[in-house]
Amino acid sequence: MMSPMLSGVCLSLLAAPGLAFVGTPFIAQQVRHAPAPTSRSVTGSSRPRASTRMVATPDKVGTGVKRNENFAKLKAGYLFPGIAKRRNAYLEANPDCRPIISLGIGDTTQPIPPHILSGLVGGAKTLGTKEGYTGYGAEQGKADIREKISEKLYNGLIKPDEVFVSDGAKCDIGRLQMMFGSGVVSAVQDPSYPVYVDTSVMVGQTGEVNEETMQYDNIVYMPCKPSNDFFPDLKALPHADVIYFCSPNNPTGAVATREQLEALVAHANAKGSIVVFDAAYAPFIRTPGVPKSIFEIEGSRTCCIEVNSFSKYAGFTGARLGWTVIPNEVKFSDGTPVRNDFNRVMTTAFNGASNIVQSGGMTCLDDEGMAEIDTLMDYYLENAKILKEGIESCGFKSHGGKDAPYVYVDLEGKASWDVFSEILEKAQVVTIPGAGFGPGGEGFLRLSAFAPRESCVEAVERLRAVLA
Ligand code: MLT
């Protein structure tokens, strides 16, 4: 039974002016609208006052919280879960099919090598000791790993305090977008890793997608295709504040030459843009003279940020460890070092990478760990070679697959989602349709070389049977 006091409150609420109830049965919701016009309180302080009203809805569809309208602009779910959904739907409809082979998402499959693993195990064990136990660490990463990244991967070209250690490059791209906010124009290679575009939409940098071109309004799409050697015509580009550039490229497998990267850096410096260089696939580079970092390029310290990750280097896709480098000289137009604001994001919205995994990162960077990484890269590069030769033997042209773990297949005008479905249905092989990486990827298919060797060999046999 309702207490007299409570029923009094309810009655007075019901009687309050402005409250209306319509229809029965109903669910009454209290909806707060803030900020409302500013009111001055008795204490004289001025603050927004929330207005309260009751609405009654015959069928409750949700809370009173307005959806972030930017999310409604996103055309589809994120690419890779979407692919997994199609694969699972196929499997559900065909439960007796032979095992599906995934040449889809670029997820590593080979075990973490012993020396690198010893770092992870050692890091976990240390937490079980009184002397070694640590709680929260520095949000920017431990000093030792920042130093080692600077020394071993950048040859001292960048300083340890310019390195932010994190839980991965994808997460850092999201946090960089949080820092840049809605007021910038981003440019992306087309096709590109979907995180750049999707996060640009989420933070409100874009308008709606154009249903004809499948491009978002207010994003600069930089066409990258075989005819321009997968490098955009920088002179023809409209202005962009932030340029996302990935090399070795996901999905095309193209690798930018030193001259191309010099042109990119010169362009950014001349136009006052910032390049976010995604180097997650750098250790796959085998061609001599091809830069593995944007910081090998003169002039990059004033305009470039680099995101990177141990995911593909060392099989850390599940362990999670990455880093972002922001040189002290990269500044916003008001002179604020970009590094300072990124530091604010990291200290506020991140609590530091796992101490266990940072210990694994340290062993990655020992000479023994680096040698293990090289062996892993060789394994995946051999897979890429098998896939490339295999798909070419079916009569297709392909790109990439030499200094990169992705083979980019030219479908000669065929719709990539159709070919994806055909291959899944007839060969039980998962691939990624180029259109999933942006309109510029239509007519292409990406094959990932991260599957186990025997799966790559069998996938080629199956593809030959279906496509040759
Ligand atoms: C991909 O398959 O493109 C990527 O590996 C996915 C990722 O790294 O987030």
Residue 468's pLDDT band, with cuts at 50, 70 and 90, is confident
Say what the pLDDT of residue 60 is. Answer: 77
* pLDDT (mean) for 373-394: 98
What's the confidence (pLDDT) of residue 372? 98
Q: For 90, how many CA atoms within 13 A lie in the half-sphere containing its CB?
A: 22
Identify the DSSP state of 208. Answer: P
Higher pLDDT, residue 210 or 41: 210
For residues 219 and 197, what is the distance between their CA atoms, to the nearest angstrom? 8
What burial letters (b/e) apply to 16-45, b meaning 16+ CB within 10 Å?
Answer: eeeeeeeeeeeeeeeeeeeeeeeeeeeeee
Q: How high is the pLDDT of residue 19?
A: 34
Whether 105 lines ligand 1, by a CB cut-off of 6 Å, is yes
Mean per-residue pLDDT for 19-30?
34
Q: Provide the CATH topology of domain 114-365.
A: Aspartate Aminotransferase; domain 2 (3.40.640)
Question: Which segment of 77-81, 85-89, 438-442, 443-447 scores lowest on mean pLDDT?
Answer: 77-81
Predicted confidence (pLDDT) at residue 54 exceeds the cutoff of 60: no
Which pTM value belongs to this model? 0.88
Is residue 45 very low, low, confident or very high in pLDDT (cuts 50, 70, 90)? very low
> Average pLDDT of 175-202?
98
Instruction: Give the pLDDT band (50/70/90) at residue 76.
Output: confident
Q: Give the pLDDT score at 350.
A: 97
Residue in 87, 171, 193, 198 to alter for ligand 1 test, most ligand atoms within 8 A of Cβ: 193
Residue 48 Cα to ligand 1 middle (Å): 44
- CA 79 / ligand 1 centre spacing (Å): 10
Cβ distance 276 to 173 under 8 Å?
A: yes
The three-class DSSP label of residue 415 is: coil
Nearest alpha carbon, ligand 1 atom 6: 106
pLDDT of residue 240: 98
The residue whose CA is least distant from atom 1 of ligand 1 is 106
- Fold adopted by 71-109+370-467: Aspartate Aminotransferase, domain 1 (3.90.1150)
By percentage, how much of the chain surpasses pLDDT 70?
87
- Distance (Å, rounded) from C-alpha 45 to C-alpha 93? 64
Q: What is the DSSP string of 320-346?
A: --EEEE--TT-B-TTS-BHHHHHHHHH
- CA–centroid distance, residue 230 to ligand 1 (Å): 19
| Model pLDDT for residues 388-414, shown as the tens digit of each residue | 999 999 999 999 999 999 999 999 999
What is the phi/psi pair of residue 170, to 5°?
A: -60, -45
Ligand 1 pocket residue status of 250, Cβ below 6 Å: yes
Q: Which atom of ligand 1 is nearest to the CA of 251?
A: 3
Question: Ligand 1: which of 78, 102, 103, 107 to mutate, judged by most atoms within 8 Å of the beta carbon?
Answer: 107
The predicted-structure confidence for 122-134, as pLDDT tens digits, reads as follows 999 999 999 999 9
Whether pLDDT at 286 is above 80: yes
Question: Is 170 touching ligand 1 by the criterion CB < 6 Å?
Answer: yes
Q: In the predicted model, is pLDDT for residue 95 greater than 70? A: yes
Find how far residue 259's CA is from the centre of its chain: 27
Render pLDDT for 221-240 as a digit per residue (tens, 0 to 9).
Answer: 999 999 999 999 999 999 99
Looking at ligand 1, which residue's alpha carbon is closest to its atom 3? 106
Q: Whose CA is nearest to atom 5 of ligand 1?
A: 106
What's phi and psi for 20, nearest 5 deg?
Answer: -130, 135
| Nearest CA-CA partner of 83 in 111, 103, 66 | 103
| Amino acid of residue 419 | V
Residue nearest ligand 1's atom 8 by CA:
106
Query: Which of left, alpha, beta for 415 (phi over 0: left; psi -120 to 50: alpha)?
Result: beta
Confidence at residue 107, expressed as pLDDT on a 0 to 100 scale: 96
| 261 C-beta neighbours (distance < 10 Å), count | 23
Residue 132, amino acid: G
Q: Where do the structural domains in the chain lie, given as residue ranges?
A: 4-56, 71-109+370-467, 114-365
CA distance 139 to 385: 40
pLDDT-based confidence at 155, cuts 50/70/90?
A: very high
